[in-house]
C-alpha cells in the first residue's frame, strides 16, 4: 500500500498542536516527529515524555511548545507513568482522552524497557511512540542498544560492535494489539498509523525512525531525506504487527543498495567495503524474513 | 468494630476505607500481605478503585505519581529493597506535590540479607520530601493511614506511614476498625488538582533555572511547616471523632524525671513497661515517643526536653559513620536549648533483634550511672 495524502485528515495544514519556538537544533528530525505525531493525535490528548531531546524541544519553564497537558516523567518510566494516567482517567470516566507516551531509544530499548514490558504485559491503555535516533543524543551521542552495527558514537569511536536490538520483535512477543514502524520520511503513513492506534484500546507501540543531524553527522536539511532512504534501502521497513502475530508490510521499497543510505551519513564515514557488504547481507536477510512473516502481503 | 488482626491487615482495612482510586503495588516481604489483602478487596468489589499489579516498586511509585497528578487518590505499600528502588521516584513524588500515601514496613536493607525490623530503610529516605509517621501498634497503623490521606491531600505532600516488620506487620492485636460511614465523614471525597486538563493544558514540569529550582524547594520547605500544623490538627480532629489521638510527639512522666528516654515505634511499648518497673524502684525516668519524623517537630521536642539535662535515645537504625538517626535528630533539635544537656545514643534492636524490658532497663541504668556521655553510640545486645 502506497500511503496517500488524500486519506489523511491530520495532513491538513493548520492542525498543528505544536507551536513555533521549539529549542531543538535546526532541522531536527525529532522536532519533526513530535510535530507530526501531535498533529495526528490532536489537541485533546495527554502527553508523557521522559528525559531526552523532547525535554529540550518542549522549551524551558514557563514556556511550553506543545498545546497539550504534558508530563515530564523520570527517564525509565514513560510506560508506567502513562499507565498511571490512563487508569486514573478510567476512574474519572474520561477514558476517551488518549494518553501518549513519547520516549527516545534510550528511554525505550534500554533504561525504560522493564517499565514498558510491564505495561505491555498488562495491556495498559496508551500509545507509546519510541522516537529512535539510534543513540543517546541528548547527552551528546553515546551508544544505545538501538545504535546500528558499525555506527560511530562518542562511546564507540571505532564503530559499534553490537547489533541493533529488535524492539518490534520484543513488543510483538507481548502480543500487544498494535505495533507499527514509521519514518518521518513518510509523514502521511506516520500520521495514519497514529490515528489508527488512537482508535484501538490497549498498549499500542510506534517505532519511529527519527534522525539526529548532529549524531548522524548529516546536514541540517537532510533528516527527512535520510529517513526516506532508510525505508527505500530496507534498513527500516514500514510495517505493522497486529496482536503480536499478524505482520503487514505497508510500503514496498525500491530496494536501493544500503550504501546509498550509509554514504550520506558521517557516522558511517569509516566503513570498509566489507562492512558495507555485511550490512547489505543482514538487511537482505531481515527483509526476506519480514516478507515471509507477512505472508508475502504488502 | 474490634477485630483481631495483623498490622498489615489493619493497614489494608484503613486504605480501602479511604477509597483510593489507584493502588499500584509490587510484592516484597514483609509488606506483601497488604498487597494481597487489597487485591482480595478489589476482587470482591470492596476496594472500588483499580489495583495496578506492577513489575517493580519503581514503576509502582511512577504510576502513583502520575495517577495522583491526574487527580486520583493513590496508595501503595513497600519495604526495604523496594523502598530503596523507589528512591528516585520519592523525590519526584514530593517535587511534583502529589498526595500519595504509602505504608512502609521497616525491614533490614541488604547486604547481608535479612527480613527483620530495622528502621534504616525508611530513615534513609528522610531527605526525599515525604512526611513520615512512625507507629507503635496496629491500631496506630490503621489510624495513621486515615490521618495521612487527610494531611497529604490538604498540603499536597506525600506521606509514609511506617510500621515495623513482624512486630506490627505480622503480629495480631485487637484493632478497632472504623465503619465506612465514619471514615467517609472524617475523610472528604478526593478533590486533588487535576494537573492534566485538556481544556487548560500545562506542563508538569518544565526545565527550570537555578533560582527557579531554589524557589520551588523553598516552597516545599514552607509546605512542610504547614504540614506539621496540619498533622497536629488532623490528629486532634481524629481524636474528637474516633476517640483516639497520638500527638506528633508523646510525653510521659516528664515532671520529675532525672533522665528522659527517647524512643520511636514498637520499642516505646516495651519502654512503657520497663520504666513503670523502674519507677517502683524509685528511678524517675520520663519517656518521649517521636511519632512524626518528617517534618521533624522541633518545637515540640524543644518544649518537652528543654528543661531536661540527661537524655538517652534508643535507635533501631544507624547512619553508618555517625550514629542512630533519631539520636542525631534529637541532638540537632536541642542544640539551641538554654539548658546544657548530656545526650547518649544507644543502638538497640538493629537487625530486628529483641529489645526487651531488661535491655531497656540496662540502657537506663547505664545512662544514670554514666559521668561522661559519649559522642559515639553504645551498642546494646542481649546478655
pLDDT of residue A20: 86
Q: In Å, what is the CA distance from A148 to each residue of A152, A252, A261, A266, B97?
A: 9, 22, 13, 14, 41
Which of left, alpha, beta for A284 (phi over 0: left; psi -120 to 50: alpha)?
alpha
Window 82-101 of A, Cβ < 8 Å to B = 82-85, 87-92, 97
Contacting residues for A234 by C-beta, under 8 A, at least 6 apart: A253, A255, A258, A283, A284, A286, A287
pLDDT of residue A21: 86
* Count of structural domains, chain A: 1
Contact between chains at B205 and A97 (C-beta distance less than 8 A): no
Contact between chains at A85 and B66 (C-beta distance less than 8 A): yes
Contact between chains at A83 and B206 (C-beta distance less than 8 A): no
B219 contacts in chain A (CB < 8 Å):
none
Please indicate, yes or no, if residue A298 is contained in any of the structural domains: no
pLDDT of residue A4: 47
- Cα diameter, chain B: 71
A56 contacts in chain B (CB < 8 Å):
207
Q: CATH code for B2-242?
A: 3.40.50.970
What b/e string do you get for A101-123 counting C-beta neighbours within 10 Å, with b at 16 or more?
Answer: bbbbbbbbbbbbbbbbbbbbebe
pLDDT of residue A14: 62
Window 4-33 of B, Cβ < 8 Å to A = 21-22, 24
Contact between chains at A84 and B201 (C-beta distance less than 8 A): no
Determine the 3-state secondary structure of A123 from DSSP.
coil
How many contacts, defined by CB atoms under 8 Å, are there between A and B?
Answer: 144
Residue pair B57/B83 in contact by the 8 Å Cβ criterion: yes
Q: Describe chain B by its helix, strand, coil percentages, rounded to 5.
A: 40, 20, 40
DSSP output for B205-223: --B--HHHHHHHHHHHHHH
Q: In Å, what is the CA distance from A34 to each residue of A39, A68, A226, B135, B268?
A: 8, 12, 17, 49, 57
Q: Quick check: B284 contacting A, CB < 8 Å?
A: no
- Report the alpha-carbon distance of residue B162 to residue A136 in Å, rounded: 39
Chain B residue closest in CA terms to A115: B59
Contacting residues for A197 by C-beta, under 8 A, at least 6 apart: A127, A178, A180, A204, A206
pLDDT of residue A216: 98
**pLDDT tens, position by position, for chain A (298 residues)?**
444 444 566 666 667 888 888 889 999 999 999 999 999 999 899 999 999 988 788 888 888 888 999 999 999 999 999 999 999 999 999 999 999 999 999 999 999 999 999 999 999 999 999 999 999 999 999 999 999 999 999 999 999 999 999 999 999 999 999 999 999 999 999 999 999 999 999 999 999 999 999 999 999 999 999 999 999 999 999 999 999 999 999 999 999 999 999 999 999 999 999 999 999 999 999 999 999 999 865 5
Where is A71: in which H helix or E strand?
Answer: strand A70-72
Q: In Å, what is the CA distance from B284 to each residue of A2, B267, B280, B334, B369?
A: 90, 19, 9, 22, 14
Contact between chains at A61 and B24 (C-beta distance less than 8 A): no
Cell of A77: 518510566
Q: What's the domain range around A185?
A: 5-293
Mean predicted lDDT score pLDDT of chain B:
97
Q: Quick check: B58 contacting A, CB < 8 Å?
A: yes
pLDDT of residue B242: 98
pLDDT of residue A7: 54
pLDDT of residue B69: 98
- Report the alpha-carbon distance of residue B31 to residue B107 in Å, rounded: 9
- Using CB atoms within 10 Å of the CB of residue B357, give its burial: 0 to 12 exposed, 13 to 18 middle, 19+ buried: middle
**Pairing assessment for the beta strands A126-132 and A99-104 based on DSSP bridges:** parallel
Determine the 3-state secondary structure of B313 from DSSP.
strand
pLDDT of residue A54: 84
pLDDT of residue A12: 63
Interface predicted TM-score (ipTM): 0.96
Q: Quick check: A52 contacting B, CB < 8 Å?
A: no
Contact between chains at B71 and A118 (C-beta distance less than 8 A): no
- Report the alpha-carbon distance of residue A296 to residue A290 in Å, rounded: 9
Contact between chains at B49 and A92 (C-beta distance less than 8 A): no
pLDDT 10s digits, B251-273? 999 999 999 999 999 999 999 99
Nearest to A211, CA basis, from A201, A224, A198, A199: A224
Residues in chain B, total: 383
B207 contacts in chain A (CB < 8 Å):
55-56, 58, 60-61, 72
Contact between chains at A61 and B203 (C-beta distance less than 8 A): yes
Residue pair B129/B157 in contact by the 8 Å Cβ criterion: yes
A112: domain CATH number is 3.40.50.970
Please list the residue range(s) of chain B that carry CATH number 3.40.50.970: 2-242
Please list the residue range(s) of chain B that carry CATH number 3.40.50.920: 249-379
- Residue B252, strand partner residues: B287
Contact between chains at B70 and A85 (C-beta distance less than 8 A): yes
Mean pLDDT of B157-164: 98
Higher model confidence: residue B206 or residue A37? A37
Contact between chains at A71 and B69 (C-beta distance less than 8 A): yes
Fold of B249-379: Rossmann fold (3.40.50)
Residue pair A66/A39 in contact by the 8 Å Cβ criterion: no
pLDDT of residue A62: 84
B52 contacts in chain A (CB < 8 Å):
83-84, 87, 122
DSSP output for A32-61: HHHHHHHHHH-SS-EEEE-SSHHHHHT-BT
Q: Quick check: B89 contacting A, CB < 8 Å?
A: yes
Residue pair B83/B158 in contact by the 8 Å Cβ criterion: no
Amino acid at each position: 500500500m502506497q500511503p496517500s495524502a488524500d486519506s489523511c485528515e491530520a495532513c491538513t495544514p493548520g492542525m498543528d498542536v505544536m507551536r513555533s519556538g521549539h529549542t531543538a537544533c535546526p532541522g531536527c528530525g525529532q522536532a519533526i516527529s513530535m510535530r507530526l505525531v501531535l498533529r495526528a493525535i490532536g489537541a485533546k490528548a495527554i502527553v508523557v515524555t521522559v528525559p531526552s531531546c523532547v525535554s529540550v524541544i518542549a522549551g524551558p519553564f514557563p514556556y511550553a511548545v506543545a498545546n497539550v497537558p504534558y508530563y515530564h516523567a523520570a527517564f525509565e518510566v514513560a510506560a508506567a507513568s502513562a499507565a498511571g494516567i490512563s487508569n486514573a482517567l478510567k476512574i474519572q470516566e474520561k477514558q476517551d482522552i488518549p494518553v501518549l507516551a513519547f520516549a527516545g531509544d534510550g528511554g525505550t530499548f534500554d533504561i525504560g524497557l522493564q517499565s514498558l514490558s510491564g505495561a505491555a504485559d498488562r495491556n495498559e491503555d496508551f500509545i507509546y511512540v519510541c522516537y529512535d535516533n539510534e543513540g543517546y543524543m541528548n547527552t551528546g551521542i553515546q551508544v544505545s542498544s538501538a545504535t546500528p552495527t558499525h555506527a560511530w558514537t562518542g562511546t564507540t569511536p571505532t564503530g559499534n560492535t553490537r547489533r541493533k536490538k529488535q524492539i518490534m520483535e520484543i513488543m510483538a512477543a507481548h502480543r500487544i494489539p498494535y505495533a507499527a514502524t514509521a519514518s518521518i520520511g513518510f509523514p502521511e503513513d506516520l500520521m495514519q498509523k497514529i490515528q489508527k492506534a488512537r482508535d484501538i484500546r490497549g498498549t499500542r507501540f510506534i517505532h519511529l525512525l527519527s534522525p539526529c543531524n548532529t549524531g548522524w553527522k548529516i546536514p541540517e536539511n537532510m533528516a527527512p531525506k535520510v529517513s526516506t532512504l532508510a525505508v527505500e534501502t530496507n534498513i527500516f521497513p514500514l510495517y505493522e504487527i497486529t496482536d503480536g502475530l499478524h505482520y503487514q508490510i505497508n510500503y514496498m521499497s525500491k530496494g536501493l543498495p544500503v550504501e546509498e543510505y550509509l554514504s550520506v551519513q558521517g557516522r558511517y564515514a569509516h566503513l570498509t567495503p566489507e562492512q558495507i557488504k555485511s550490512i547489505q547481507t543482514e538487511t537482505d536477510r531481515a527483509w526476506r524474513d519480514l516478507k515471509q512473516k507477512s505472508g508475502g502481503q504488502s | 468494630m474490634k477485630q483481631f488482626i495483623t498490622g498489615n491487615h489493619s493497614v489494608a482495612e484503613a486504605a480501602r476505607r479511604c477509597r483510593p482510586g489507584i493502588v499500584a503495588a509490587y510484592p516484597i516481604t514483609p509488606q506483601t500481605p497488604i498487597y494481597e489483602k487489597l487485591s482480595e478487596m478489589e476482587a470482591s468489589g470492596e476496594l472500588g478503585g483499580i489495583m495496578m499489579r506492577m513489575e517493580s516498586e519503581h514503576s509502582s511509585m511512577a504510576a502513583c505519581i502520575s495517577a495522583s497528578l491526574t487527580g486520583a487518590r493513590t496508595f501503595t505499600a513497600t519495604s526495604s529493597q523496594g523502598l530503596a528502588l523507589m528512591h528516585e521516584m520519592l523525590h519526584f513524588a514530593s517535587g511534583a506535590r502529589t498526595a500519595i500515601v504509602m505504608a512502609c514496613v521497616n525491614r533490614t536493607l541488604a547486604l547481608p540479607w535479612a527480613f527483620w525490623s530495622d528502621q534504616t530503610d525508611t530513615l534513609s529516605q528522610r531527605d526525599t520530601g515525604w512526611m513520615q509517621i512512625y507507629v507503635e501498634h496496629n491500631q496506630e497503623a490503621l489510624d495513621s493511614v486515615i490521618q495521612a490521606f487527610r494531611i497529604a491531600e490538604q498540603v499536597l505532600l506525600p506521606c509514609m506511614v511506617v510500621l515495623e516488620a513482624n512486630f506490627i506487620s505480622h503480629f495480631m492485636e485487637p484493632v478497632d476498625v472504623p465503619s465506612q460511614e465514619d471514615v467517609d465523614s472524617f475523610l472528604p471525597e478526593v478533590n486533588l488538582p487535576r494537573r492534566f486538563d485538556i481544556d487548560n493544558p500545562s506542563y508538569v514540569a518544565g526545565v527550570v533555572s537555578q533560582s527557579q529550582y531554589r524557589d520551588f524547594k523553598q516552597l516545599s520547605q514552607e509546605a512542610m511547616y504547614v504540614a506539621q500544623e496540619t498533622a497536629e490538627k488532623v490528629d486532634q480532629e481524629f481524636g474528637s471523632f474516633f476517640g483516639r489521638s497520638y500527638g506528633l510527639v508523646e510525653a510521659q512522666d516528664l515532671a520529675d524525671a532525672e533522665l528522659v528516654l527517647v524512643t520511636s515505634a514498637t520499642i516505646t511499648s516495651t519502654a512503657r513497661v520497663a520504666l513503670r518497673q523502674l519507677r517502683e524502684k524509685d528511678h524517675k525516668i520520663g519517656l518521649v515517643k517521636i511519632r512524626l519524623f518528617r517534618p521533624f517537630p522541633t518545637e515540640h521536642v524543644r518544649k518537652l526536653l528543654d528543661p531536661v539535662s540527661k537524655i538517652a535515645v534508643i535507635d533501631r537504625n544507624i547512619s553508618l559513620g555517625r550514629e542512630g538517626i533519631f539520636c542525631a535528630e534529637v541532638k540537632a533539635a536541642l542544640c539551641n536549648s538554654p539548658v546544657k544537656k548530656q545526650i547518649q545514643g544507644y543502638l538497640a534492636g538493629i537487625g530486628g533483634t529483641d529489645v526487651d524490658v531488661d535491655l531497656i532497663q540496662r540502657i537506663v541504668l547505664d545512662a544514670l550511672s554514666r559521668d561522661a556521655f559519649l559522642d559515639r553510640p553504645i551498642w546494646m545486645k542481649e546478655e
